Amino acid sequence: MTMKASLKIGTRASKLALWQAKWVKSALIEKFPSLAVDLVTIKTKGDKILDVPLAHVGGKGLFVKEIEEALLDGRVDLAVHSMKDMPAELPQGLCVGPIPERETPSDVLISRQNLPLARLPHRARIGTSSLRRAAQLRHARPDLTIVPLRGNLDTRMKKLDAAEDDLAAIVLAAAGVKRLGLENRISEYLAGAVMLPAVGQGALCIEIRKNDPETAEKLDVLNHPSTRAAVLGERAFLKRLEGSCQIPIAAHGTIESGQFILDGLVADIDGESIIRDKRSGSENASEHIGVELAERLLSLGADKILEKLLETGSE
């Protein structure tokens, strides 16, 4: 097969998105020094609508749709996203390509006084627009006030520093904070028992066209098999639950000695009810295990939570 001499990467223009796309570019050039790789920045609907919570304007696809359109019509050869931004269903003709090794998947608390979650003052105001984070925060600390907070990572950090809306703290993905060199700002890594991460959190999604084997072959050098198995298991869990940003769903899969262990939950918006369980099995069966865990949670009562949330969302 004749290998392509150049590739165009589609990406959002935020600092974190550009860091991720540049990482992929550098990794490819390291493997193929003669390869020309260009970045094409694309503004998504999610970048334009910053004053409305994600759950009210369409959820995960807000950050990828325009980039996927560029991929489908050939303006770019691949797209680089944060895996946690990816909908469970991809457009016809596109697929998840290689998945590089995952960064820390957990969430972190960044507080103005550098306090951990347990020591934040009564009724402290915490910024997040993630229903998943809000539900788990309310479950852990019902006294806290959750404040809607949109914008890219550095925008949210600036709002915290300016004490906008009297914010005491914000919750962010550890991966983004670390990738932008802001690890010194972290007040606490939130344990999975308190804050289970989003599906795919910490992993990159390299999205490609199904009918482009040349690009797929070249990109395969970036794949990390155990990360891929874990993430695909999490995404199978999400897909079975028909998850979106309108529903508090979380999952984290790990690989230990060839075994895939998946921890997942479904919560109601106020965090009063959380249905959570684990499943494990062969690494090669991660997607089957994801579906199996989703079925288990549905049988434990997650179906009632989902029905209620979907009814509320359609009103």
- Average pLDDT of the residues of the chain: 92
Domain-located, residue 196: no
Q: Answer whether residue 308 shows pLDDT above 90.
A: no
Residue 219's CB is within 10 A of a number of other CB atoms, namely 22
Find the domain containing 219 and state its range: 1-100+204-223
CATH number at residue 23: 3.40.190.10
- Answer for the pair 133, 271: CB distance below 8 angstroms, yes or no: no
To the query of whether residue 85 is one of the catalytic residues in this protein, the response is yes
Please state, for a pLDDT cut of 90, what percent of the chain lies above it.
Answer: 83
Domain-located, residue 199: no
- The radius of gyration of the chain from alpha carbons, rounded to an integer in Å, stands at 19
Report in angstroms the alpha-carbon separations of 24 from 90, 214, 296: 21, 17, 37
Question: What is the pLDDT, as a whole number, of residue 36?
Answer: 97
Q: What is d(CA 95, CA 79) in angstroms, rounded to the nearest whole number?
A: 11
pLDDT tier, 315 (very low <50, low <70, confident <90, very high otherwise) = very low
Domain-located, residue 275: yes
Domain-located, residue 81: yes
168 and 214 within one domain: no
215 and 69 within one domain: yes
Q: Answer whether residue 50 shows pLDDT above 60.
A: no
The residues, ordered by sequence, that sit 6+ positions from 164 with a Cβ below 8 Å of its Cβ are none
> Could you tell me how far CA 91 lies from the centroid of its own chain?
18
CATH number at residue 265: 3.30.160.40
Residue 37 β-bridge partners? 7
215 and 77 within one domain: yes
33 and 168 within one domain: no
Number of domains composing the chain: 3
260 and 308 within one domain: yes
Of residues 77, 85, 212, 268, which has the active-site annotation?
85
Going 131 to 135 to 141 to 143, the CA torsion angle's sign is positive
Q: What is d(CA 293, CA 295) in angstroms, rounded to the nearest whole number?
A: 5
212 and 93 within one domain: yes
232 and 219 within one domain: no
Question: What is the pLDDT, as a whole number, of residue 297?
Answer: 97
Question: What is the pLDDT, as a whole number, of residue 24?
Answer: 98
Question: What is the pLDDT, as a whole number, of residue 58?
Answer: 53
Domain-located, residue 277: yes
pLDDT tier, 242 (very low <50, low <70, confident <90, very high otherwise) = confident
Which pTM does this prediction carry?
0.92
Domain-located, residue 27: yes
Domain-located, residue 76: yes
234 and 215 within one domain: no
244: which 2 tokens? Answer: 């979106």
57 and 136 within one domain: no
253 and 276 within one domain: yes
Report in angstroms the alpha-carbon separations of 283 from 32, 91, 114, 117, 229: 30, 27, 39, 34, 6
Question: What is the pLDDT, as a whole number, of residue 47?
Answer: 66
143 and 53 within one domain: no
Domain-located, residue 137: yes
217 and 96 within one domain: yes
pLDDT tier, 151 (very low <50, low <70, confident <90, very high otherwise) = confident
pLDDT tier, 152 (very low <50, low <70, confident <90, very high otherwise) = confident
Interval 99-138: pLDDT, tens: 999 999 999 999 999 999 999 999 999 999 899 999 999 9
Question: What is the pLDDT, as a whole number, of residue 310?
Answer: 75
Print the SS3 string covering 123-156.
CCEEECCCHHHHHHHHHHCCCCEEECCCCCHHHH
- Answer for the pair 166, 125: CB distance below 8 angstroms, yes or no: yes
Give me the residue label for tokens 């392509």. 4
